[in-house]
Amino acid sequence: MGQISQFLPFLLMFVVIYFFMIRPQQKKIKQEKEFEAALKVGDKIITKSGFHGKIAELTETTAVIETMSGKLKIERSAISLELTAALNKKA
């Protein structure tokens, strides 16, 4: 019983760290992957660097977006927001 009580604070600390740091991060990563998988050609998007555009082509890891000044090839992970659904809700 003495050894268990010595390790109990470390065990509790690990449990707290898991539920407040590791688990939310895993959920966030899963949501980002689902978001990237749900993108489709024609969606209006905003990149993490602030470019607004429309998806013209999609591959497994990249996307080509049309902007007012031309086309840009970016990584799918660089897309931060999809506007098509938000714009359709307002209309």
| Co-location of 16 and 1 in the same domain | yes
What confidence tens digit (pLDDT) does each residue in 33-58 have? Answer: 999 999 999 999 999 999 999 999 99
What confidence tens digit (pLDDT) does each residue in 53-68 have? Answer: 999 999 999 999 999 9
Query: Could you tell me the CATH number of the domain that includes residue 91?
Result: 2.30.30.60
The boundaries of the domain holding residue 89 are: 39-91
Structure tokens at 40: 């489709």
| Co-location of 25 and 55 in the same domain | no
| Co-location of 10 and 43 in the same domain | no
| Co-location of 63 and 81 in the same domain | yes
Contacts of 48 (CB under 8 A, 6+ apart): 78, 79, 80
User: How many structural domains is the chain composed of?
Assistant: 2
User: How far is Cα 88 from Cα 53, in angstroms, rounded to an integer?
Assistant: 16
Contacts of 64 (CB under 8 A, 6+ apart): 55, 56, 57, 58, 71, 72, 73, 74
| Co-location of 61 and 29 in the same domain | no
pTM here is 0.69
